[in-house]
Amino acid sequence: MSQLRIREIFPTIQGEGRWTGAPSVFVRLQGCDVGCPWCDTKESWDFGAHDILAVVRGRDLADFVRAQYGAKPGIHHIVITGGEPAAYDLLEATSSLISRGFTVSLETSGTYPVRVHDDTWVTVSPKWDMPGGRKVRDDVLYRANELKCVVGKEADVERAIDAWLPEQRANGVQLYLQPVSQSGRATDLCVAACLETGAHLSAQTHKYLDLQ
Output the pLDDT for position 126.
Answer: 92
Contact between 125 and 107 under an 8 Å Cβ cutoff? The reply is yes
In the chain, at which residue ranges do the beta strands (DSSP E only) sit? Answer: 3-13, 23-29, 54-57, 77-81, 103-108, 121-124, 146-151, 174-179, 200-201
Parent domain of 133: 3-208
Instruction: Tell me the per-residue pLDDT of 29-50, one tens digit each, with 9 for 90 and over.
Output: 999 999 988 888 899 999 999 9
CATH number of the structural domain spanning residue 196? 3.20.20.70
pLDDT at 72 > cutoff 80 = no
Q: 3 φ, ψ to 5°? A: -85, 120
Output the pLDDT for position 203.
Answer: 79
Instruction: Tell me the per-residue pLDDT of 186-202, one tens digit each, with 9 for 90 and over.
Output: 899 999 999 999 999 98
pLDDT-based confidence at 211, cuts 50/70/90?
low
Q: How far apart are CA 103 and CA 200, in angstroms?
A: 22
Instruction: Tell me the per-residue pLDDT of 84-115, one tens digit each, with 9 for 90 and over.
Output: 999 999 999 999 999 999 999 999 999 999 99
pLDDT-based confidence at 166, cuts 50/70/90?
confident
Radius of gyration of the chain (CA): 17
pLDDT at 210 > cutoff 60 = no
Q: Which of 5-9, 157-161, 184-188, 208-212 has the lowest mean pLDDT?
A: 208-212
Output the pLDDT for position 59.
Answer: 94
When divided into structural domains, the chain yields a total of 1
pLDDT-based confidence at 71, cuts 50/70/90?
low
